[in-house]
Amino acid sequence: MSPTVEAPRRRLGGPLKLAIPRGALWGETLDALDRIGVDTSEMRGDSRSLVFDAGGMSLVTMRPSDVPTYVESGAADLGITGKDVLLEHTDRIVYEILDLGYGACRMVLAGREGDESLGETERRLGGMRIATKYPRIAERHFEETGHQAEVIEVKGSVELAPLVGLADGIVDLVATGRTLKENGLEIREEIASSTARLVANRISHKLRAAEVDDLVERLRPEKS
């Protein structure tokens, strides 16, 4: 842990601040909050607000990939985000305290169906070209498995890259695999599996221990 220059400001006291991910985990996260008696009807409406008070907490809504940033600084005490986000942002120091079980998906390496260009470029050119929105996960995977690859970061639809020849394959998150199929891509390797996780700021986890533990117990999924 190194000190940061950026002012990590926070206010103790007052309601716990919980960072809520918009996007793919939004619906199931609100369902999970409903189950522990937090009223999410206002959030489900068409409000443009970013911050909601409900269930004795302050719910702060944001992009899933911003959750570790807010929680690390203490701007949010706790947050919910995908394991994929945590794997991509391993340099953010947050405590991963609970597997919420929902939002299951897999990080995979995919190539064009029936096309051997992945293997061929690696054999003949010494490395494959991989497009991804998760450059750090992709680089770590190729390093660990001993493959050489040129990782190309893209921001938008990553399936496009192998179709037009930007890359030989992609590393991306799949839930059902439908998007891959529709774009003529198939899974070659599974890199990691992901579900939604509850993360905590390290100081909040210490100084608001009772409230944090109480929320963890309420959110803990029943063992199936």
Residues of the shown chain interacting with other proteins in the complex, contacts defined by CB under 8 A: 1-13, 72-75, 83, 91, 95-99, 197, 201-207, 209-210, 213
Q: Nearest approach, Cβ of 109 to other proteins (angstroms)?
A: 22
Q: Nearest approach, Cβ of 177 to other proteins (angstroms)?
A: 24
Q: Nearest approach, Cβ of 129 to other proteins (angstroms)?
A: 24
Q: Can you read off the two tokens belonging to residue 137?
A: 């996960």
The C-alpha atoms of residue 3 and residue 133 are separated, in whole angstroms, by: 28
* C-beta closer to other proteins: residue 51 or 125: 51
* C-beta closer to other proteins: residue 3 or 45: 3
Q: Can you read off the two tokens belonging to residue 74?
A: 């203490």
* C-beta closer to other proteins: residue 141 or 197: 197
For residue 163, which phi and psi values (nearest 5 degrees)? Answer: -70, -35
Q: Can you read off the two tokens belonging to residue 147?
A: 């493959």
Backbone region of residue 165 per phi and psi (left: phi > 0; alpha: psi in -120 to 50; beta: other values): left
Q: Can you read off the two tokens belonging to residue 111?
A: 């190539």
CB 59 within 8 A of CB 77: no
Q: Nearest approach, Cβ of 106 to other proteins (angstroms)?
A: 16
* C-beta closer to other proteins: residue 36 or 207: 207
Q: Nearest approach, Cβ of 17 to other proteins (angstroms)?
A: 11
Report CA 150 to chain centroid distance, whole Å: 23
Q: Nearest approach, Cβ of 19 to other proteins (angstroms)?
A: 13
User: CB atoms < 10 A from the CB of 119, how many?
Assistant: 13
Report CA 130 to chain centroid distance, whole Å: 20
The C-alpha atoms of residue 189 and residue 180 are separated, in whole angstroms, by: 13
The C-alpha atoms of residue 42 and residue 203 are separated, in whole angstroms, by: 30
* C-beta closer to other proteins: residue 98 or 118: 98
* C-beta closer to other proteins: residue 22 or 136: 136
